């Protein structure tokens, strides 16, 4: 015969186990985000760099077929970020980028040194939101704005 001993139990004993705390699963954003990069270049300079004569002939702001062009367009977005304050000053004009928008302010109160936006003077301390293709006259130099949308994951 089989004997059941008192020390052995046929019923399994339960050990209290603490509740498992599950962290909520966060959705990972795998969508591509776009950001805008603002650049400023001399009017007609893109045509000069590309060598496209037809585009160069159609440029209205060429004085006596002489263009003063930088070696590459000025990256306003990078210049605004460089100081860490979100703005960049060029002569009497201050540029500020907030998100995808770029603003310009005339920071010189002397009426002889005004900033022109598409041929119209920007008064002292006036802050204006810029659009791609805008033409600026700053300290006697003519510039054209453009923006490039970039994507990153």
pLDDT at 134: 93
Maximum separation of any 2 CA atoms in the chain, in Å: 120
Q: Which secondary-structure segment (H or E) carries 45?
A: helix 45-50
pLDDT at 128: 92
pLDDT at 34: 47
pLDDT at 153: 47
Q: Kindly tell me if the per-residue pLDDT of 1 is higher than 60.
A: no
Whether the CB-CB separation of 119 and 142 falls below 8 Å is answered with: no
32-46 mean pLDDT:
76
List domains and CATH numbers for the chain. Answer: 39-152 (2.60.200)
pTM: 0.64
């Amino acid at each position: 015969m089989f004997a059941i001993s008192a020390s052995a139990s046929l019923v399994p004993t339960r050990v209290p186990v603490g509740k498992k705390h599950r962290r909520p699963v966060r959705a990972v954003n795998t969508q591509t985000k776009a950001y805008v990069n603002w650049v400023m270049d001399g009017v007609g300079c893109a045509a000069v760099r590309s060598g496209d004569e037809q585009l160069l002939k159609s440029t209205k702001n060429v004085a006596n077929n002489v263009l003063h062009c930088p070696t590459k367009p000025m990256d306003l977005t990078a210049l605004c970020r460089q100081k860490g304050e979100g703005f960049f000053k060029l002569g009497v004009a201050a540029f500020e980028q907030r998100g995808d928008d770029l603003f310009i302010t005339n920071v010189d109160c002397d009426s002889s040194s005004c900033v022109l936006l598409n041929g119209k003077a920007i008064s002292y301390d006036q802050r204006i939101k810029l659009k791609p293709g805008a033409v600026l006259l700053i300290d006697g130099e003519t510039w054209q704005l453009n923006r490039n949308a970039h994507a990153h994951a």
